[in-house]
Each structure stands twice: as structure tokens, then as C-alpha cells.
Structure 1
Amino acid sequence: MDTFLDFEECIRDSPVFRQSLDKCESDVAELESRVEKVMKLCAQMVEAGQNYTSCNQLFLSGLAEFTAYHKSDGVIVNCLRQFNQGLQEMIQFQTMLFDQTQRAITQQLTNLLSQFLPQIRDTRREFVRIGEDLEAAVVKNAQVSRHKPADAERATHLLLATRKCYQHFALDYCLQLNNFKVQQKLDILNSVFSYFHAQNTFFHQGFDLLRDLEPTMKTMASQLSQLSSDCSAKRKDLENTHLLVQQRDASGEAVIVCNPSDGGTIQGYLFKRSRKKNKTWKRCWFYTENNQLIYSKSHKEPPVVLFDDLRLCAVKSLDVIDRRFCFELLSVQKCCVLQADSEELKGAWINAVQGCINIAYRDQVTEQNTQVKENSAPAAIPDPPPHPPALGVALRGNGNQRCCDCGEAEPRWASVNLGITMCIECSGIHRSLGVHLSKVRSLTLDSWEPEQLKLLCVLGNEVINGIYERKPADGLQKPSADSPRQDKEQWIRFKYVEKRFVTRDPDGPDAETVKLRAGGRLYQASLSGDLVAMATALAEGAEVNWSNPEQEGRTALIGSAIGGSLSACEFLLQNGANVNHRDQHGQGALHAAATYGHTGQVCLLLKRGANQYAADEKGNDPLSIAIETAHADIVTLLRMARMNEEMRDSEGFFGSVGDDETFQDIFRDFSNMASHDPEKLSRRQFLRGSEDEEEKN
């Protein structure tokens, strides 16, 4: 319990008060020095963190250079690109953390010191000055002679006035010190709490990001495993090839490549004699191609055509000069002397060149026709690199080409339950709201189901802004892409948490009535599959799991299962609908989907954890309802799901982790057909006799 300065002791100016005052002043001085030390250390920490962020950004630039270096390898490029995007978002989170830390520690503590200490110092100076005046007045009053009544009266009046002024300043000084002691606790605790809240938000955002990246990391792990196997196999193949070539060709003899099946083409090193007067010899790489003899002086220089038409040449051995293994090529314009490294290589070159000449004469017409056909064929124009599939679909929605909250171009993130796209900074703010308000996913890193993408197309930024920004608040302007983060955060919280800009029902007498009316509208919209009306009802206060008493306690999810809208069902599940809620008759959404023959809803509800064994008041579970109503596809699905679950349970704790592959394939086919081609899922009847026979088997 803190000890405050006693105002009555202050009036008396007792030694106890002076002792308490000295201790309080020393406490204030010590607190000031410690606060300044904390602020200095915080500034150093933030500066070091900003340097770390800059170095981290340089490191990611290095990873991006890796991506450019391995641009021909799709696996490495995809892995590095996805990791780079995730790490870029982590840097954004770290930058936000340092900014919030600086605001929480430095700004709040600076406000504490600047608000109280200057005024306390000024008041203390006046307090000390008046105290000195009081001391002088007391001494003067004591020294006046009793025989001088006029002087005594003046001294007494001066003493009273000075003491009264001193008491006022002393009381003000004590009040300021006591207020500072009270306020400093609040400000210091609030500062530390704000810092811890920033840390909590940072780790929460990082956890959500890594959780969203888990499917990508699993895909990368499988790719890495496959790449490791391919690498081992390739290394083994290279070692075998190396050993084979070493045993076959590494004999010290010169190597040439001759391919008789390709028109006698040949390539290898030869010495070429210069036609200048000095007759120097230079070793060059020669090869035949397209009825031409071409050579390269070095790998750094472009190749040179020595003879552009071998049909006009003759080749023969040259034995009249001093150098060995020489042969000569002659044409009408020029001749050239070449030298091989051995007699065998010379013979191979002569035979290969002569073979090229013979084949060129024989296949001249065929080659010309083939060349004409090839030249007349249109050149293939490579397709431009497409967007990732989810991103390409999401950007088709109205207004989805820009961030829903700040308008930044090319958003790469989306809220699956709100049906909007957003930039990376706004996505971090949405994550801090909690998944009960906004479920943020990446349009490039995460996998998306067809119905989730439909929500982004049917709703989209334009529709949602028409609901959540229908009634702008006076004096509050929507942030832009360049606005500070705190402005964006304030706008998003006003928009989605407090729903300040949503048009309220003017006829609702109280909040409960408004909520009930919104719940009724949500149920009717779910029944008809009107996503816009459903989003509007939720924005106006409808509870997603509200039981409609006028509809026998059914929720909106059960209504969507009755109505048959797969998108409505997905929208409600994404917004927290209870998949296993049951009405007054014990029937849930899965019972309704089985009753009305909606195969797509059955797939979706099973996928979201609906209890397929739940029985209604008559003892009927969804499978028995599907058999009774003769919906063959749903019977197949439910039986397969039940069989798969029983097989998985029979394997025990250490059994297979994944579901049966056959069941997953059938389940995926039904889901895709329900999403993309629902008319194919027509209700199929089958005979009661075949049912009975199947039940017996």
C-alpha cells in the first residue's frame, strides 16, 4: 500500500512531513531515471529489431535470387516462391510489432513524464522560494522589539501572509506529487500491458499464418521426398554412366562423335592450316550440320562456316606434306587442309564427309519439301503465365481486384467467411480480429474448395461494402492504400467488430427484437439460397445458430439443407454454424439433406463432421431416411462413409492415419459434381426388393 503525503501534516510543516516529502521526491527522481532507462533500452531494442527486419528483407532478396537461378526447375521455384511469400508476411508482422512496441512503451511513458514532471518541478521551485521567504519572515518577526508596536504589527501581518502563501503552494505541491504516484501505476501497467498485447497479437498472427501454410508444407514435404528419391536415382545413374564411359572410352585416344544414322554427321577436334603465308596450324572444333562444315576456334567465339555446301566439295587424303594424318577438302572457290590425331580418325573424317556429300545429293528434293513445310508452319506462341487457379477465380468477383478495406491493387489474401479479398497489411489486421469474425487465407499459398471460391465471386468486395459501409459515419474517412496502419485498423474494427456503418432496422423497438427479426430474415434467405440477404442479416445482428421457433426450432443451416443451396450451406458453416444442431423433432441438417435428396449438402456436411448416426424422435438416422426416400446416391455416400469409419476404427490407434482412398475418390467425385454440374445428381429410384436383398446380404 503506497504512503501518500498527508495534507494536514503539510499545513503543520512538521518534521514528519518534511521526511515524507524528501522520500517522495527521491522516489519521483528514482522513478524518472528508471523510466528513462526503460525508454532508452526500448529505443535500442526497436532499432535493433528494425535492423533485423532490414537484414531479414535482404535475406529474402537472396532467396528470391535463388528462385531466379532455378527458374527452369518448377519444384524449386514453387517451393521458394511460397516460402518467400510467407516470410514476407512474417516481416510485415514484425514491423507491426516494433511499431506497436514503440507506441506502447516510449510514447506512453513519455506522456507520463511530460504530463507531470515539468509542472512538479515548477511548483517545487515556487515551494522552495516561498519557504525561504517564510523562514525570513519568521526570523524578522522574532527580532522585532516589544517597544515598537508598529514594527511588530507589520512583521506579524507579513508573517501571516507569507505563511498562508506557503501553505497554498505546499498543498498544491503535495497534491501534484500524490497525483503522480497514483497515475504512474496506471500508465506503467497500461504501457507494459499494451506491449504484451502487441506480443500476443504477433505470435497469434504467426501461428495462424503457419497453420494456413500447413497444407503447403505437406505438399512441399512430399515434393521434397520425391525430389530426394529422384536425386538418389539420378546420382546412381550418373555414377553408372561415368563408370561405363570410363571403362569404354577413357583410353587416352582422341574422341569424335560420328552418327551414321543422321546423314553421317561428325564432330571433333582437328588442326586447320592457315591459308596465309606463314601456314600456321590451329586446333579447332569441327562438325557437320545441314550439309555444311562448321568450326569454332574457341567456345567464346561464334562458329564459322568453312564450306556452306558440301555437295560442291571433294575430300581426299593428303600424303605429300610433312605432317601426318592430313586430308584436304576442295571446292571451286577454295581448299582447306585439316589434320586428325590418328590414322583411324582421319579415315573416319574422310568417310563421314563423303557420306554427307552422298546423302545431300540423294535427299535434296525430300529435304527441300520438308523445309518448306516446316517454314510454312505457324510459330507457337507461348501462353502467358496464368494466375494461380484460386487467385484467378477470386479476382472475377465485383470489386475483388482491389483490397476491400483500403483499395490497394492486386490483393493476394481473402476472408473466406466474409467473401472479400484484401491486401497483406489488412489481412494481418483481420487475423487479429479472431477467426470468429474473419477467416483469412492466402489466394496463392492455400488450397480452396469450389464452393469457397463461389462465395468470393457471388459476394465479393462490392457487395460486402454495400452492406458494411452502407451508412458512413460523419467525419470518418475510409483509409487508402497509403494510410497509416492504425487508421486501417480503426476502420476495420469499426466496420466489422462494431458494425458502425451497417444500416439498422428502424422499426426495431429494442436490440432483442432486431436480433429476432434479423434471425428470421437469415432463415428465409438460407432457405432460398440468397447469399447477399444472408450476409446482410448477419451484419444486422442475426445469430447464425438461432433456433427459429416458427420453424420448429430449425437453424439457418437446416434451412439451407432443405432449400438445397450448396453455397448457402458453405457460407453458414464458414460463419460458425453448428453442423450437428437438431430441431424439435431431433432432425439436423444432415437429416434434412437426406430427406430432400440434396447430395451436395450430404457431401459437405459429412466433410464438416456431421454425425451420421444421430437419430430423430422416430429413431431414424440419415441413412434410414435416404433408404426410405429412395435417394440412391445419398444411400451410397452414407454407406461408404459409415464403412470407411468402421474400417478406420478397426485399425486401432496405430492403424492407417488417412481415410480409405476409394472412399475419398468417390467422395471427391460427388463433391465436384455437386459444385460444377449439379443437374447430373438427379434422384434415382431403386426397387424395394433390391433394397431388401441388399439388406440381407
Structure 2
Amino acid sequence: MTVKLDFEECLKDSPRFRADIEVVQNDVSELETRLDKVRHMHRIHLHALRQKKKYRNLFSLSLPFLSSRDVRRFKDVRKEFERSSECLERAQERNAQAPRGKVHEVEEASNALLNARRSFRAEALDYVLEVRMNAGVLIKRGNDIHLKINICVWRMTSASVSVQQHTQFVLNAAREKRDMEQRHAAVKKKVSNGIAMEGYLYKRASNAFKTWSRRWFSIQKNQLVYQKKFKDQPTVVVDDLRLCTVKPSTENERRFCFEVVSPSKCCLLQADSDRQQQAWISAVQNSIASAFQERREDPHRGGGGGGGADQESEGCKALEEVQAIPGNKQCCDCGEPGPDWASINLGITLCIICSGIHRSLGVHFSKVRSLTLDSWEPELVKLMCELGNTVINRIYEARIDEITIKKPHASSPRGDKESWIRSKYVEKKFIQKLPETGRNPLLRRSSARRNRATTQDRTVQRPPIKPKPNRATLPRSTEEDLSGLHPGALLYRSAALQNFPVMADALAHGADVNWVNVAEESSTPLIQAVSANALAACEFLLQNGANVNQVDSNGRGPLHHATILGHTGLVCLFLKRGADYNARDKNQKDPITIAVDNANADIVTLLRIAKMNKEMREMDGAFGQSGDDTYHDIFRDFSHMASNNPEKLKRRSADPKS
């Protein structure tokens, strides 16, 4: 059998080539051990062979063809290959560390790398040629001779060995030879796995030392992965190339660097030359485009109950609606145009770099979602359209003119953006400070009216709030003066008024989203929003951590109140967010009983379907489906109707006695 190594893999010095070479070297080492055993056997049984002419001929013919000189030549070529490989590795490290500002060092390192690469390729090709021409033949002959000698030895000792032992001995030798051949056959098999680009890159670690390591990177199956050795499991840098972007990096002293940025991480890589850097950037960009194209052409994509085309259409519609809000066509934090990411609890749009920083803050600060790749529920789109970058920056950057910190721009380093975002949303350095007594004038009546006017001028027009007959304590007019309220009370009042800018301002100033108004039956901001049938306001509170099962002094949670008032859209929303449909109030009535008493068929249907779906999942156990398609279809239809055609849903305008 002739061992065949790929010359292309040899020139790239890929992990696959190194793995093939390692197998060959192990086999040659094993062959050398076998030769030692053969020589030992030859010395022991030489006197016996003199009496048997055919055995003497076997040894005299076989051994010269497989002398130690053949193995020694192979080892000498391998030694030269390893020496040149070490020289190349040192030249690559020197070239990578050469600072861009020192022209003399850069020139010396580049020339040294060029010479080392030429020398390595020459030695590597010689080594591969030696393997293909001689090593395979040596290994095959060694296996054949080993088998013949084993049979020969058995024949010499046949007087003391049974026929059964002889048969087993021959089978073992044949099996050993076959296993060796299969190993080489496996080495020869080359699987591409749809690799779009591969090669060595330096990768900077994310630890405190920021060390650089040389790894074999490849783009395959819409992922960027790397590995140290061929047998290692590839480490995934980017799970989905559609979620990342790539750009050159000049923020450090090393040359030929580029960044692959995703919402979850930023990976800094370094090529060996400017040409390789451009090739990798182009390859990543082309793979991103290909990933989007494959998604558009794949007829099987999309979630349960809805086709991929519908999901993509909804994603485009969400992007258009959200970006149409004032300020949303630029990233909220750095101003980069065309942002296609969003923070759904803040109600802002972000570029991919800022979205990654937001994601690193944790979901208690910012919940990041893609405007183009993720599915968008209609209530989330409605919420995003109620806020926007202009409104949120008016709150979180209220004191930007009073401070010396400069806001980053689109081309600013990632570190500057991260520092700004943490100062803005975590430390809240730029919001208007609360005075010791009362609210800041920003939220007095005139400002509240101005903020509401800004919101109502948008595409989604909101009807005036009508006070509920049984809610005498609720504000009777949207013109109520909200000054003087602390953040919790401010959130409580503004939730009933559906005043999103004021709600966002209250949360920015530390309002407890589950604040309890003891004077009004221990009601919460979420229950206040239910009373106003404010779907987007409820979603806003839920996205900011409101407890969907927190009850008032009557034992009624948001789901109870939505059922009593006949707000079908809110019932649908709360069930999707995990509301307990079995919870009983002080009258021992659960939402299903209340809906039946009120003869609200839509709400009864929703509650019973949710209950049935949960029971079916529990019956299926740990291996059951995550949800029934019919269940998701029905709830999706109700969500769309509640957001886009609320007049089609049955409502009750009064609170029946229950």
C-alpha cells in the first residue's frame, strides 16, 4: 500500500496534514520496533533454520529489503522537516509581534518570514515525497514480512503447538495487517465539510493577559470555528454568521488585525500579511451574504405553524415600523446609521457592536433582539413604536451638556462605546438627578404634556383614556400633574395613563416595577395598565421585570383583572408570559370560572387551550413537545388581532360583580 499525502495540505501545513504525518510517523516507529523483534527472533532460531532450507531462504530474502538504513533515511528527512517547521514558527511569531510603527523591525520580520516559509515548503515537499515513495512501501513490506515470519516460527515449533493455536496465530497476524491498512485508508480520505475558507490566524484571548495564540480557523456551515489539532473538537467563535460583522482593526500595535463582531462577543484576529487579512475579511463578508441568501431560498425555515416567508415578511415589517420612529435610523448610543438590533425593554435601536455591549450588561439592564432575524410579536412592535431613541436619550442623556465625557461616534473604538454605555445605563451618570423633594421640572405638567404630544404624533394614534366606573381612585384626566411623585408612584400613575416617556423616566430613576400602592387595594403598575387596557404598557412593564402573578389585596393578579374586564388581548399576553390560570382570588374564583360567569367565549377558549396544552406536555413527560402548533397558532392570531384590530375582540366595559 502506498501512503498518499495531499501536497496542497502540505503547503498550508494544516492540522489535517499534521495529523496524517503523525499517523505515518507512528507506523514507521512501530515498524522499527517490529524489525528489532524480527532480528531477535532471527538470532534465537538461526541454528534451527540451518536445518530447514526453505526457512533459511525466507529470512535471507526478506531481511535485506527492509534494513534499518531504509528507516534511518526516512527519519533523517523527517528531522529536516521538523527543523524547518520550528524555524517557520519562530519567524511567524516575530512577524506577528513586529509593531506597525517600527518600519525597520517590520521589514526584517517580513523578510525573515518569507525566507523561512520558502525553506519550510521545500523541506515539507521533500518529506511528503519521501512518505509517498518509500514510507508506504516500507510499512507494507514490514507487515508482510512480520506475517510470514510469524507463520515460519509457528512451523518451526509445530511439534509443540496445536492446530487450533496455529489458526488463531495466523488470524491475529492477518487482522493486525488489515487494521494497519484501514488506518491508512482513513487517513487518505479527505472531507471538506463545505469549508469556505481556512488557514492559520493569531487569536487574542479574552482573559486579562490578552495573550495571542496561533490557531487553525475555518468558515464552515455558516460558522467561524478554530482548532489547535485536527483531532480536537472545533471551537465555535460565531454560531451564525448572519449575526456578525467584520472590519479591520487598527486599535493595537499589531499589524493585519481584524475584528469579527457578534452580539455576544468580539473576536480580534491577526493574519500574516495584508493580503491574507483582506482575503479573510472578504471571505467572512461573502459567507454572511451567503447565509442570508440560503435563508431566503430555504423553503423549510421558519417556526411552527408559520412559513419562513411569513416570518421574514414580519421581520421586514417590524424593521420598517421601528426604524420609522424618530431617532431610530441611527444607533441610540453611537449614531451608526441603519441599526438592525434593538433593546426591547428600553425601546431603542442599536448597531451590532453596541448590541453586543448591551447583551454583556445582562438582561436586567438590556434585552437584545435582532430586528431582521428574530420573530417579533405584534405587542413587541407596538411597544417599540411607543418609545424610540429620541425619547430614551432625552432621559438617559439629559445632562450630557453638563459633563465632560464625550459621546462616542460610529467609528469610535469598542472600548469607548462600552465605557459610555455602562456609564449611561448601569451607572446612570447622565440622567437628571431627583431633587430632595418633588420631581424635577422635566416631569411637571408642561413636560408631561409635551412628552405625550411627542408620542401621539407618531403613526400609532392612541384614544383618550376613559376612567373606569369602579376605579374612582384612578386619574380622571391625562392632564394630571405628576410632579412631586417619587419614582414608584410615578410609574404607577403613568402606567394607567399609558405615558411611556414618563414610565421610562420613572424606571430610569429606580422605580420598583412591582411597586405596591397600599392605599389602592395593593394594586401594582401592571394592574393599573390592565385597567386601562394598555397592551403595550403591560408589555413594557413585563419586559422590565414586572411579576405577571403578583396579586392585590383581593387576591387578584393581572390575569384576573384582564378576565373580569374582558380584555382578551391582555389575557392572551399574560398567558404567553406565564400567568397562573389556576390562581384563585379571595372569592375562590379562578380566571376560567370568571370568564364562564361573564360568558366571554374568547377568553374561555384561550384559558382552556392554555390549560389543555400544559396538561398534554406534562403527560408527554420530559420528551414531550415544547408546545402544540395549534396552541401557538391560536395565540398568535389573538395577538395580531389585539394589536392591529382590537375592535374585533369582545370586551366588557364594566366590572361585573363576581
| TM-score normalised per structure 1 | 0.45
Name which one, 1 or 2, has greater alpha-carbon Rg: 1
| TM-score normalised per structure 2 | 0.48
Larger relative helix fraction: 1
Greater RCO structure (CA 8 Å; 6+ sep) = 2
